[in-house]
Structure 1
Amino acid sequence: MGDIRWPDGKKCAVMFTFDVDGDTTWENGNRGLKNGEKYIKSLSVGQYGPKRCVDRILQKLDQYGVKATFFVPGLTAERYPEVIKRIAEQGHEIGHHGYAHERFAGKTTEEQIEIIEKTQKIFKDLIGHEVTGFRTPSGDWAKNTPKLLYERGFRYSSSMRGDDRPYRTVIDGEETDFIEIPTKWEVDDYVAMAYHMYPAEPAGQDRISSYRLVEDNFMREFKGHYREGLCISYMNHPQVIGCPGKIQILDHLLKYITSKEDVWVATGTEIADWYRKQSEK
């Protein structure tokens, strides 16, 4: 059903991604609250990710020989430069995730360009090169965002939800070499397990999910994608999946998936480049 030829006859593709938002998400949320800047505990939730959880994740990835893609806001890179350099030095891919985790939807063309280029300069100064992968922060982008990215040398995005296979993005009515690698809410650790009070996450404050059930969901999605020969992109956040209890979910996924010799585990660039080549007309 996948109709995609994966490298070396592999049956399906798996992409492990981590959005290193740091405290940007909580800063943005707090702005809508009275005296929000005083909610120091809120900021500490995001700070926990780069300060403690990234290294725990890197250890697990190294244990199973997996290279992942880390989408990073420019502001996080400025605040935690040594963490981002460590990710890159260990052979993982860095991707663009806005500057301050701001929504591109509603931004003017000029504002989007400023965000894109400002963060690219940060990456070039920090890791020696601009990045070519993008994930839109906070769930959506403006209609012209793909065109702005493509014109500036980006090769792929992992932002949309409308497929379980990579595809060529249509820009100005034409299919392009800008590849989309969709992800899904069902494999997003944040919507399943993130919890906080200020700002409320989730809004109803009605759950702290069972880790066992979340792992079961994630595993079932992999098995479904594997059965149909598709591409699954796990979307994780260090402050969520990287804590001492939840890291076992990642451990079990990595152990099970890497035990299958007919599964291709790859970075966003590797998947995008492969799909672009094999889908040429």
Structure 2
Amino acid sequence: MGNLKWPEGKKCAVMFTFDVDGDTTWENGNRGLPNGEKYIKSLSVGQYGPKRCVDRILDMLESYGVKATFFVPGLTAERYPEVIMRIAEAGHEIGHHGYAHERFAGKTTEEQIEIIEKTQRIFKDLIGHEVTGFRTPSGDWAKITPQLLYERGFRYSSSMRGDDRPYRTVINGEKTDFIEIPTKWEVDDYVAMAYNMYPAEPAGQDRISSYRLVEDNFMREFRGHYKEGLCISYMSHPQVIGSPGRIQILKHMLEQITSKEDVWVATGTEVSDWYRSHSEEQEEK
């Protein structure tokens, strides 16, 4: 397998992405518990992200001159507009992450359209424009979702898991300009380190991962992607990676990755635009 081509002869591409879920995920989880709507502590876990962790992440990214992509549910944008504005004003990309972090799988076409368009209106009012990148909440979407997004001007998604290179999404049997930039559970800080009691996360309550080992896993994935000239999309969550201790994982990763002059660190839009305009030569690889 030949290496993909990246701008200015760079060897591989790296995306740093952050899902600013806020309290939406814990609200959704609480609904499945008796009296769950009264649980305050679990909500505070998510609230910690926009309240404290986003600014810590923004400072760290600025220190290394990195622009990232922040996928935001519309409800989070409504609750923390000043936080989302700070992200956008710092030059980072805002992406769509549903309205209330709801699963698109199982939603009707009409329900999905309402979620997509409602959140776009929120972004337009808040940051002055609709967004063109999407990450499906909770890891899955309905079969028709890519078509609904593409018809509404979305240019890329970073939702799927089945590749380590960008690719053109097939819609109704044809390859389209809607680019998928896959990510992986292996580079998701939530899978590795999220922990909460109500609702239980993880379900067995038998894991608070070693930060050193998580960082080692993340960097081993980078080195593998670098060796093969691929694209790695790190998926982080402010409430997880943004604590005073875990932010050191991000610091060390930024330090090592940005020290390599032949690595292209880019936003989702930059990666998808590059791939789209160079797709023929890429797909020959």
Distance across 1 between alignment mates of 2:243 and 2:70: 17
CA RMSD between the two structures: 0.7
Distance 1:2 1:215, change over 3 A: farther
Q: Assess, with a 3 A threshold, how the Cα gap between structure 1 residues 47 and 8 changes in structure 2: closer, same or farther.
A: same
Distance 1:3 1:132 in 2: 27
Aligned-partner Cα distance in 2 for 1:57–1:2: 35
Q: Partner residue of 2:161?
A: 161
**Which residue of structure 2 lines up, in the alignment, with residue 135 of structure 1?**
135
Aligned counterpart, 1:114: 114
1:3 Cα shift?
3.7
Q: Output the TM-score relative to the length of structure 1.
A: 0.99
The CA distance in 1 between the partners of 2:150 and 2:156, in whole Å, is 8
In 1: Cα distance, 2:59 partner to 2:135 partner: 24
Report whether the alignment pairs 1:271 with 2:260.
no
Superposition pairs of residues 167-178 of structure 1, within 5 angstroms: 167-178=167-178
Deviation at 1:8, TM superposition (A): 0.2
Deviation at residue 280 of structure 1 after TM alignment: 4.0
For the residues of structure 1 that align with 2:267 and 2:55, how far apart are their CA atoms? Answer: 18
2: CA distance, partners of 1:272 / 1:211: 31
1:7-66 CA distances to partner (integer Å, 9 max, x unpaired)? 000000000000000000000000000000111000000000000000000000000000
Contact 1:2 1:230 in 2 (8 A): no
Q: Give the aligned partner of residue 87 of structure 2.
A: 87
Displacement of 1:2 after TM fit?
5.0
CA distance in 1, matches of 2:2, 2:239: 33
1:196 aligns with 2:196: yes
Match for 1:210: what amino acid? Answer: S
Cα distance between partner residues in 1 of 2:155 and 2:244:
35
Please tell me the residue identity of whatever aligns with 1:229: G
Shift in Å, 1:255:
0.3
Deviations 1:175-219 (A, max 9, x none): 000000000000000000000111010011111000000000000
Residue 4 of structure 1 and its aligned partner are, at CA, apart by 1.5
Q: Distance in 2 between matches of 1:226 and 1:2?
A: 12
Q: Which residue of 1 aligns with 2:50?
A: 50
Whole-Å separation in 2 of the counterparts to 1:218 and 1:95: 23
Q: Which amino acid in 2 is paired with 1:246?
A: R
Q: Structure 1: how far apart are the matches of 2:207 and 2:127?
A: 39
Runs of 4+ aligned residues of structure 1 deviating over 6 Å after TM superposition are none
Distance in 1 (CA, whole Å) between partners of 2:175 and 2:143 is: 15
Aligned mates of 1:78, 1:144 — CA distance in 2: 27
In the alignment, the residues of structure 2 paired with residue 273 and residue 104 of structure 1 have an alpha-carbon distance, to the nearest angstrom, of 25
For 2:60, the equivalent position in structure 1 comes to 60
Tell me which residue corresponds to 2:205: 205
Assess if the C-alpha contact under 8 Å between 1:2 and 1:165 holds in 2: no
Give, in whole Å, the separation in 2 of the partners of 1:6 and 1:152. Answer: 28
Report how many aligned residue pairs link the two structures.
281
Rate the CA distance shift 1:102–1:8 in 2: closer, same or farther, 3 A: same
1:208-227 pair list within 5 angstroms: 208-227=208-227
Unaligned runs of 5+ in 2: none
Partners in 1 of 2:197 and 2:239 — Cα distance? Answer: 15
* Aligned equivalents of 2:139, 2:174: Cα separation in 1: 24
CA displacement at 1:259 relative to structure 2: 0.1
**Per-residue Cα deviation, 1:119-163 (whole angstroms, up to 9, x for no partner):** 000000000000000000001000000000000000000000000
Letter matched to residue 197 of structure 1: M
Instruction: Indicate the percent of aligned positions where both proteins have the same amino acid.
Output: 89
Structure 1: unaligned runs, 5 residues or longer: none
Change (3 A) 1:191 1:2: farther
| Aligned ranges 1:63-74 → 2 under 5 Å | 63-74=63-74
